[in-house]
Amino acid sequence: MTTILDVARAAGLSTATVSRALREPEKVTEKTRAKVFKAVEAVNYRPNMLARNLRTDKSFTLLVLVPGIANPFFANVTAGIEATAWKRGYSVLLGDTRDSPEREEHYARLVETRLADGVIQLSPDYAPAESRRQAPYPVVHACGCELTEAPSVRIDNVGAMHEVVAHLIARGHRRIAAISGPQANAHAIDRLKGYRQALEAAGIAFDPGLVLHGSFRMQSGFEAAREILAMTPRPTAIVSINDEMAIGAIQALAALGVSVPSDIAVTGFDDIDFAAHSTPALTTVRQPAAEMGAKACELLIDWIEDKARDEAVHILPHTLVVRESSG
């Protein structure tokens, strides 16, 4: 069986340096970490994780709660979390909550029983039983909204949607329909707020009859677009609060012989990989998904390791990506 001494010899480092790199990787340089991890693979070293965990009273595991594990945007956020966790010597557990409070509570018990050291929540709506501030374990939001408590990471969802709608108004659109999410969803609330603010700034009265509520999934966008086509007068543009519903809407319009953007312009939100390859390519808001995940992971691990708890809300920059679908 290989030992830490074998790793040290393969890496050309002292056993103390190798031990530090494995226990506290953030305390050694990137070059040293790379040497150690390469040597670990080369000699097939498997450290006694149980012994390490007993010594430190930590599991070195993070729990990531994902509202929908198949959602491409959340997959990109999770990739940023995992890459950062790996560099800091932590593993990641994924919990597919499906927006179910019961499933969230089930996964939260993994932290309470010390199978994980803290939680990264990808839903902006989550709060532990008492409150996040009173929770007996660290919780950080990676995809927050205006009302999400610190520590959290987010973009300016209101401002981003305002920018999208202003872009359509600048192209001459006045009757703009919106495909929103579930009415209680915090992302839907923020983005719909931005939609209304942009209309009001342009002197366009808000019409609640132009707002439909979907489920963030492609099929709900498909169904919403069919309803929008039946409106009189028919809207000349559709804003969707995520890309999946926007792509579903484009598919419905194409199936009914409606041209995008000649007949109706369509925009999305998130800039998932499919957005650039839809037909036509989708105008959308690019969120720095991987960076959001990485920042949330850094905040959580620093908190776990008894560094100062970050009380800030970190707002990362977004980008309006203009493509063919908005004309």
Gap between the Cα atoms of 212 and 50, Å rounded: 52
Q: What is the pLDDT of residues 273-313, one digit of tens each?
A: 999 999 999 999 999 999 999 999 999 999 998 777 788 89
Give the per-residue pLDDT at 319. Answer: 98
Class of domain 57-155+288-316: alpha beta
pTM: 0.80
**pLDDT category of residue 137 using cuts at 50, 70 and 90:** confident
Domain range annotation of the chain? 4-47, 57-155+288-316, 157-286
Does residue 56 have a pLDDT over 90? no
b or e along 71-84 (b: 16 or more beta carbons within 10 Å of the residue's beta carbon)? Answer: bbbbbbbbebbbeb
HEC-encoded secondary structure of 76-110:
HHHHHHHHHHHHCCCEEEEEECCCCHHHHHHHHHH
The percent of residues in the chain predicted with pLDDT above 90, rounded, is 63
Contact 296, 88 (CB under 8 A): no
Does residue 102 have a pLDDT over 70? yes
Gap between the Cα atoms of 201 and 15, Å rounded: 64
Class of domain 4-47: mainly alpha
Q: Which CATH code, of 3.40.50.2300, 1.10.10.10, 3.40.50.2000, 3.20.20.140, is assigned to 157-286?
A: 3.40.50.2300
Q: What is the pLDDT of residues 194-224, one digit of tens each?
A: 999 999 999 999 999 999 999 999 999 999 9
Q: Give the chain's mean pLDDT.
A: 89
Q: Of 4-18, 113-127, 237-251, 254-268, which range is least confident?
A: 113-127
Q: Of 94-103, 137-146, 227-236, 246-255, which range is least confident?
A: 94-103
Give the per-residue pLDDT at 327. Answer: 93
Q: One-letter amino acid identity for 10?
A: A
Q: What is the pLDDT of residues 226-276, one digit of tens each?
A: 999 999 999 999 999 999 999 999 999 999 999 999 999 999 999 999 999
Give the per-residue pLDDT at 197. Answer: 98
Residues paired with 284 in a beta bridge:
321
Do the domains 57-155+288-316 and 157-286 sit in the same CATH topology, yes or no? yes
Q: What is the mean pLDDT of residues 68-91?
A: 93
**Cα angle 166, 154, 104; round to 5:** 125
Range among 13-27, 34-48, 102-116, 234-248 with highest mean pLDDT value: 234-248
Q: Token digits for 47? A: 């450290």
Sign of CA dihedral 243, 246, 252, 253: negative
Sheet with 152-154, strands from edge to edge, namely 91-96, 61-66, 118-121, 139-141, 152-154, 313-315
